[in-house]
Amino acid sequence: MKSVEKTQKNLTIKQVALSARKEIKRRRRESEKIHIPNDIVEEIMVKLPVKSLMRFQTVSKHWRTLIRSRDFEERHMALEKSKGCKLLFVCDDDFKERMKDTLFLKTVTLEKTSASVGDEEALEFEGFKNFFEISESCDGLVCFYDIQKAVEVINPATTMFIELPLSRIQQLCIYNPNREVELELEPVQDPNPVPEPIRSFCQFGFGKDSVYGRYKLVWLYNTSPTTTPTCEVLDLEVKKWRFVNTTTLDHHKILFNERPVFANGSLYWLTGDEEGHPTTQTKLIVFDMHTEMFQVIPTPPFITREPSGGKIRICNLDGRLCISELKGDCKQEFWWRVEDNTWERIFSVDLHSTSTWFGGITSQPLTPLTISRVTNKVILSLRYQDNLVALDLDPNSSVFHLYFSGYYGLVCPYFPSFALSH
């Protein structure tokens, strides 16, 4: 009797287990019938941050192909731009505690009252000797370089980078015929003689051909008082420097030690005197990134008739070319270009109101970094000063407040993207 009961009990357990397995298989088949359309998946994924999408590329071949597609990259980039840019801080103040050739990139979100530090990346750079330059950011890419170190184009969001060959001006700065050097000059015929390469070295422009979408580096530099500037261009898809004709510049020189500005498919420089110093005959040099042609145009009519280049600032503000002039009463007016020949006044600043945060300085023009769309505030900086100041753009308000304080080395407007991922 007991044996029969035990057998029945075992059968009952097996039946329950079999029934459970059947139910699991049934539910699995039902779940497999639930299919989320690809367009809905894409709509969800395009709203995710870059770091999440980098991880999701490992989920499946289909997801990887989708995320790395040009169309997805452009849609994601457009959405990031619509959110308003962040600020990218380049810090090297940890050199003593950490590796010598390590820089720290911090992205900062524009909050209501102060800067909110977001992601932080530590990137190691070989060969930088404490001094380096950073380009403007274009589509989430930035360039690091110095006088003797080849340019590295970096995407801070993905940490992907490309090291480029030395430009001609860098080769000339490194080469010294009076001593043994590892570098040998390439057999290239320079368009103009460069008697003092170190004095010719300056910052290059970084931007994008608005027709074909190709990223380009443009190095325009003065050579001598009697010759036109020399221009080198590198297309990121080709990765080779080449000279571009500059005869249309005639006798005009660029203002030394000023970073060119990319906006609306062109690069802009201010002109200087024969030595590249500020002059009262300031004009704008414009380089079309698609046609690769130069033109020289006068400064807008609201700029003083004979302005000093040292009192004028140009920058990219919210995707537009912005120009300002610091006048004798310590007031600085900011305008941006709405169309080719149409300018709109945005705001003005009395530097007596900001000097508290900028070491009492009222003689040097400020540079606006970005406008926060959430708070309608513009973030202002002053070269070689660590603080950032916010100004309320409400026409009925003229309130300034300290926005960020602390050593940051270099800073530029930025938004994360997938550029360079192909």
List the end-to-end C-alpha distance of the chain, in Å, as a whole number.
75
Instruction: Report the DSSP beta bridge partners of residue 244.
Output: 231
How far apart (Å, rounded) are the C-alpha atoms in residues 143 and 137?
Answer: 8
The letter for the amino acid at 352 is H
Q: Whole-model pTM?
A: 0.84
Which alpha helices (H) appear in 175-252, and where do they start and end?
Answer: 197-200
Q: What is the DSSP string of 260-305?
A: -EEETTEEEEEEE-TTS---SS-EEEEEETTT--EEEEEPPTTS-S
pLDDT at 267: 97
Contact 368, 314 (CB under 8 A): no
What are the C-alpha distances in Å from 211 to residues 187, 215, 265, 320? 33, 11, 9, 18
Q: What is the pLDDT of residues 354-384, one digit of tens each?
A: 988 888 999 999 999 998 877 788 889 988 7
What residues have CB less than 8 Å from 284, skipping those under 6 apart?
268, 269, 270, 271, 296, 297, 298, 299, 314
How crowded is residue 297: how many other Cβ atoms within 10 Å of its Cβ? 11
How far apart (Å, rounded) are the C-alpha atoms in residues 208 and 74?
Answer: 14
Angle at 388 between CA 383 and CA 389, to 5 degrees: 120
Contact 299, 341 (CB under 8 A): no
Q: Tell me which range, 26-40, 240-254, 308-322, is most confidently predicted by mean pLDDT.
A: 240-254
Candidates 176, 189, 115, 123; CA nearest to 148 is: 176
How far apart (Å, rounded) are the C-alpha atoms in residues 8 and 165?
Answer: 81
How far apart (Å, rounded) are the C-alpha atoms in residues 274 and 158?
Answer: 43
Q: What is the pLDDT of residues 323-359, one digit of tens each?
A: 999 988 899 999 999 877 789 999 999 999 898 888 8
The 3-state DSSP composition of the chain as helix, strand, coil percent (nearest 5) reads: 20, 35, 45
pLDDT at 196: 84
Contact 210, 265 (CB under 8 A): yes
Contact 306, 323 (CB under 8 A): no
How far apart (Å, rounded) are the C-alpha atoms in residues 336 and 311?
Answer: 17
Contact 53, 45 (CB under 8 A): yes
Q: What is the DSSP string of 8-25?
A: HHHHHHHHHHHHHHHHHH
Mean pLDDT score of the chain: 82
Contact 110, 98 (CB under 8 A): no
Q: What is the pLDDT of residues 275-326, one digit of tens each?
A: 888 888 899 999 999 999 999 999 998 888 777 778 999 999 988 999 999 9
pLDDT at 131: 60
Q: What is the pLDDT of residues 174-219, one digit of tens each?
A: 876 554 455 566 667 778 888 888 788 888 999 999 999 999 999 9
Give mean pLDDT, residues 52-78. 88
